[in-house]
Amino acid sequence: MPNALYLIVAALAASFVLGLLSPKRCGIAYAITLVTLAFMAWVSAGWLWAFVVGGAQPVEILTAGALPPYAINLRMGRAEAAMTLLINLTGLLSALYLKESLFKLGHRGMAVLLVAIMAFCGIVLTRDLFNLFVFFELAAISTAGLILLSEDDRALSAGFKYLIVSQFVSTFLLIGILFAYHATGTLNIDTMATSARLLQVGAQGFTLAFFLMFIALVTELKPFPANGWALDIYESAHPAYSAIFSAAAATASLYAVDKLLLIGGASWYPMASGIGILTFLAANLFALPQSNDRRLLGYSSVAQIGLILVVLGQRDLLGESTSFIAIGLLVSHAVAKAGLYWLSGLVQKRNLIDWAALRGHPFLVFAFITFVAMLTSLPPFPGFYAKWELVRMLAGGGRLALLALILVGALIEAGYLFRWFGYILKREPPTEAVSGEVHKLVPVFVAVLAGWALGYLWGDLSGTGRHNLLLALPLVFAVGFLLLDWLPAWVKNTLAITGMVAFFFLTYTEYDPLRLIFALIFLIGGAITLLASYDAHGRRIGFYPAAMLMVAGMVMLVRAKDSFEFFAAWELLTIGSYFLILRGKHSEPHALSYLLFSLGGAFLILAGFAIAAQGVAPFPISALGQVAPSLAPWVFVLLATGFMTKTAAIGLHIWLPGAHAEAETDVSPMVSGILLKAGLFGLFVLLMTMGKQQLYGIELTHVLLWIAAFTALLGNLMAVFQEDAKRLLAYSSIGQMGYALFGLALMNHLGWLMALMFVINHYIYKSMLFLSVGGVAKRTGTREMYRMGGLIRLMPLSFIAVLIGIIAVSGVPPLSGFGGRWIFYNAILASDYRMPMVIIFLAGPVAFLYLFRLIHSIFLGQLKDELRRVKEAPFWIVLPQMLYVGLLLAFALVPGLVLRRVDSYLNLFFPEGGLHWEGFEITSDYGYWNPVAIMIVVAVIFVSLFAWLLFVNRRAQKVKQFNIVFSAERPYRPETTHFAWNFFAPYRKALGFLVQPYATNFWGTLTDILHTAGDLARRLYDGNGQSYAFHFLVFVVVVFGMGL
C-alpha cells in the first residue's frame, strides 16, 4: 500500500515539474496533471479497499520520525480514505472537464489545480491544528487562483470577496490555534481533545480559543448569513471549479469541523446544530426565487452542508450512526452537486428554463433526475437511507422540533429542484444546443454511475431494520427498463404486462384476503390498463421506467412487513407516478403540486413511523397497535394526514384534478383507478392496526368521518361544474375517495366491506371512464364537453363503456355500484353518527348531475360539423374498456366471488355485523340483496321502456343545427350560447359558494409568502465584499453571544 503521504508529495512534486515546463508544452503538462490526479485517486482507492475489504487498521503517519507534539501527525483511516477518494476523483474528473480552460491557462494553472486538490486532501488527513491552518490557507490561495479560470468577468470580484472573508477567517483561526496551544501545550488534535477534558483552571481562556477556531472553520462551511461570498463564487466560477468547490472543498471543511468538535466536545453540539439548521432553512428559502442555475445550485450546496452540520451536531444522540448518516448525505450531495455543475457547463445559457436544451438527450435528463433524486434523499440513493436513519433517531430521542424543521427545509428544496426538472421536460428548448464534447460527458457519466453504485453500497451497509432496495425484485424490474428503453414501445409493453402478471402468480399465495385484493388491482389491474398502452407508437422513452417504478412501489407497499419497507415503497410509487403525470402535455404545474403534496404527505408518514417506533428497528407495521397511549393519537394524525394527501381528502385535494386530467390517455386510469388505492391501502393498514384513537377527548375516526363526508360532497359538487370531461372525472374521484374513507371511518364490519367494494368498483369504472373519455378526447381533439355531442353513432363502443360506467358510479341498480350502496346503507344503519351521514346522503344525488353530463353532452344531441368524420377510439383503448364492462357485469352478478373471503377475513376485526352469503342472495341484519334477481328486474323494465320509446319516437322531427337563430346576430362567444356550456348554471348560483377555491387559494398564498420571503431576504446579499465581511462579523458576535 503506498504511503498516504504520496497524496501530498505527488501533487507537490508534479506542481514543481509543471512549473519547470516550457509554456508551449501544454499537452505534456495536461498529461502530467491527469496522471497525478489519477495516481492520487488510486492511492485513496487502494486505502479504502484495504480498510473495507482487507480490514486494515487506521495508520498514523508521523513526519520527521517523532511523536506528536514534536511532529506533524497525519492519519489515514476509513473515513479519510473515503473522503480523499471523493476529493481526488472530483479533482480528476473536473480536470478532464476543464481541458480547454487549462490549455488556455497553461501549466501554471494546472499546478494551482493540483495544489488545491492536495490542500483539500491535507485538510482531511492532518491531525495537527497548525497544519490544518496551513492547508486551509493553501486551499484559499489556490481557490482564489482557480476562480480566475472562469470566463465570466464577474468571477474576479467574487474571488476578491472570498479573499476578504478568508483574511478574517485566517486571523481568527490562527489566534485561536495559538491560544489553544498555549492552554494545552499541544497542537495535536487528539492530544488536545484529551487535555481539554482535563482542563479545570483557566478553561475560560481555552473556551475562547476554541470558539475562535470553531467560528473560523464553520465559516468555511458557508453558514448563514456569512456566506454571500460563497454564492458569488458558485455563480461566477467555471462550473468544473464550482464542482470542486461544492464537492471537494465542502467535504474537507466538514471533516475539519468534525475533527474540531472532537476537541470542543458535546457542549458545542447544539451550536453546530443550530447554525446548521438555520443555514439549511435560509439557503433553501433563498434558493426558491432564484432563476440563475449556478446560483441556485450554490444555495442548494450551502443548504446541504448545513444539514450535514446538523447531523454532526447531533452526534450525542446519533452515536455510532453519525458517520453512516453524515457520509451518506455528504456523498449524495457531493456526487449530485458535482454532476449538476458539470451538466451546467453543457447548457449554454444561465436561466433555469434554458435547461430545456437537455430534453433531446435522454441520458442527460436521466443524469439530471438521478442527481435531483440524490439531493432530495429519494430511494434508492444513499441520502434516503441516511434520512430514514436520521429521522428515526431524532424522533426516538424526542427532538421533534429539529425534525420538523429539517423536513420543512427538505420539502422546499424538493420544490425548487423538481420545478426545475419540470422546466427541462416541458419548456421550449432554446436554440443553443447542448455541448456534447466527450471529455465533458465522461464526468457526468461517472457521476451517474457513482450515484447508483453508492445507492447500492448504502443499502448494503448492514443496519438493523433496513434493506437494500436495489435488491428488491420489483424495483430491479423497474430499473431494468432503463436499460431497455431503446426497444420499441410494444415490446416493452409486453414485457411489462408479462412481468406484472407473472409476479402476481408467483406471489399470490403470500397475501391475506385484503392484501390480495390490492395486489390484484395493482398487478392484474395495472396489466389490463397497460393494454391501452399498445396504442402508443415509437419508443416512448421514459414511460416504462416510470410506470414500472410506480407499480414496483405499489407492490412493495402491499408486501411491506415493516415501516422501512412501507415508507420506501411509498416514496417509490410517488416518484414513479410523478414522472408519469409529468408526461402530459400541459401537466408541468400539476405534476409539481402533486409531487409536493405527496412528498409532504410522505414526510408526515415518515415522522409518524419514526415517532411510533421510538428508535426501535425494525418496526413491524403490526406494532402500530402497541404504540404508547400518549403518542398513539399523534402518530395516528400524522399517518392519516399523510395517507389522505394521496386520497386527496378535501383541503389536500388541489393537486388531483390537474394531475389526473392533464395526464396522457393511458396514464389517467393508472394514476386514478390504481394509484389512489395506495392511499386507501395505507388507511386500511392504519385503521386495522391502530383502530380508534382519541386526541384531547376527540374521537379521531369521527373527525375522519366528517372529512370524508365533506370530501364526498364537495368533490362531487366541484365535478358538477366542470366543462372538461377529464377534470370532471378527476373531481369525481375526490368524491369517490370520500365515500371510501367514510366507510373506513365508520369502523364497523360493513363500513370496511363497503370501502373495499369501492376500492374494486372505483378501479374498474374510473379506469374505464378515463379510457373512454380519453379516447373521445383523442379523436375529437378537445376535452371540453360542449364541443362534443352526438358521438353516439360514431363511437358506439365508447358510449357503451361510458353508459355502463356511469350506471355503476351512480350506484343505481343493477350494477355493482348498487351493491356498494346497499352495503353502505347497511353500514350506516349499523353506526350511530348522524350528521356526517346527512352530508354523505346529499352527495349521492349530486353525482347524478355530473354523470348525466358525460352521456348527455358527449354522446347525445347534435353532432358538430367538424366532428362528422370522427372514428371510434383506437382498438387498444377500446379493448380494456370492454374487459372492464365484462368485469363490472361479473362483479355485479357475483360479488361474492371476491367479497366473501374478505367478509370472513374482516371478522377478525369486527366479528359482529357481517353478511350472510347463500347462493345468489346476500343477507344483512337489515335486509337482503339478490344481485341476479335485481339484474333481471332491471333488464325487464329497461327493455319494456326502450321498446315503448322506440314506438313513440317514430313520428319525432329532428331539429337541425341551424334552426336556432340569434336575432340575426352572431354571438360574441358562441360557446356561451351552447346548451351544454355551463350546464348547471342554476345550481352554481345556489351552491357556488361551496366550491370557491378556498384550498387552492390557501396553498397558493402559502407558496407566495415563501417566495416573497425568500426574495426579500436574499437582498441581504448586496454584492459588496465589505457587507459580506460585516455579515461574517455579525455572525461571529451572535454565535459568541449565544455560545458563551
Partner 1 sequence: MMIHLAMATGFLLILIGFYGALSNRNLLRMIVAFTIADSGVNLVIVAIGYMPGRTAPILDATVKAGDAAARVIDPVPQALVLTAIVIGVGVTALMLAYAYKLYEKKRSLDIAKFTELRG
**Rule CB under 8 A: which residues touch partner 1?**
69, 130, 134, 137, 140-141, 144-145, 148, 153-154, 156-160, 163-164, 166-168, 170-171, 174-175, 178-179, 181-182, 187, 228, 231-232, 235-236, 1018-1019, 1021-1026, 1029-1030, 1033
Closest CB 232 distance from partner 1, rounded Å: 4
Closest CB 199 distance from partner 1, rounded Å: 17
| One-letter amino acid for residue 551 of the chain | V
Q: DSSP string spanning 335-388?
A: HHHHHHHHHHHHSSS-BGGGGGGGGG-HHHHHHHHHHHHHHTT-TTSHHHHHHH
> What is the bridge-based pairing of β-strands 921-923 and 698-699?
unpaired
Q: What is the 3-state secondary structure (H, E, C) of 785-809?
A: HHHCCCCCCCCHHHHHHHHHHHHHH
CA 845 to CA 652: how far, in whole Å? 24
Closest CB 568 distance from partner 1, rounded Å: 38
Closest CB 30 distance from partner 1, rounded Å: 24
User: How far, in Å, are 298, 299, 311, 351 from residue 1020 at the CA level?
Assistant: 16, 14, 27, 22
Long-range contacts of 821-826 (CB under 8 A, 24+ apart): 822/929, 823/750, 823/753, 823/754, 823/757, 823/915, 823/924, 824/739, 824/743, 824/750, 824/754, 826/750, 826/924, 826/925, 826/926, 826/927
517: cell is 385484493
Closest CB 205 distance from partner 1, rounded Å: 11
Closest CB 182 distance from partner 1, rounded Å: 5
Closest CB 137 distance from partner 1, rounded Å: 5
CA 787 to CA 793: how far, in whole Å? 16
| One-letter amino acid for residue 903 of the chain | D
Considering beta carbons, is residue 169 or 469 the nearer one to partner 1? 169
> What is the bridge-based pairing of β-strands 916-918 and 921-923?
antiparallel
Considering beta carbons, is residue 144 or 599 the nearer one to partner 1? 144
Considering beta carbons, is residue 141 or 479 the nearer one to partner 1? 141
CA 328 to CA 379: how far, in whole Å? 12
Considering beta carbons, is residue 349 or 586 the nearer one to partner 1? 349
Crossing angle of helices 78-97 and 26-52, rounded to 10°: 150
Q: State whether residue 265 is helix, strand or coil.
A: coil
| One-letter amino acid for residue 357 of the chain | A
CA 17 to CA 35: how far, in whole Å? 13
CA 690 to CA 562: how far, in whole Å? 15
CA 199 to CA 203: how far, in whole Å? 6
Closest CB 180 distance from partner 1, rounded Å: 10
| Count of beta carbons in the 10 Å neighbourhood of residue 1002 | 11
Closest CB 171 distance from partner 1, rounded Å: 5
CA 433 to CA 244: how far, in whole Å? 25
Considering beta carbons, is residue 186 or 577 the nearer one to partner 1? 186
Considering beta carbons, is residue 132 or 472 the nearer one to partner 1? 132
Closest CB 563 distance from partner 1, rounded Å: 42
Q: Which residues pair with 74 in a beta bridge?
A: 61, 126
Closest CB 259 distance from partner 1, rounded Å: 19
Considering beta carbons, is residue 339 or 1025 the nearer one to partner 1? 1025
State which H helix or E strand residue 62 sits in. Answer: strand 59-62
Which phi and psi (to 5°) does residue 846 adopt?
A: -60, -35
Considering beta carbons, is residue 256 or 847 the nearer one to partner 1? 256
Closest CB 1028 distance from partner 1, rounded Å: 10
Q: How many residues does the chain have?
A: 1044
Closest CB 118 distance from partner 1, rounded Å: 15
Considering beta carbons, is residue 292 or 468 the nearer one to partner 1? 292
| Count of beta carbons in the 10 Å neighbourhood of residue 871 | 8
Considering beta carbons, is residue 167 or 498 the nearer one to partner 1? 167
Residue 482: exposed, middle, or buried by beta-carbon count in 10 A (0-12, 13-18, 19+)?
Answer: middle
Considering beta carbons, is residue 163 or 405 the nearer one to partner 1? 163
Considering beta carbons, is residue 491 or 1033 the nearer one to partner 1? 1033
Considering beta carbons, is residue 220 or 235 the nearer one to partner 1? 235
Sign for the CA dihedral angle at 239, 243, 249, 254 comes to positive
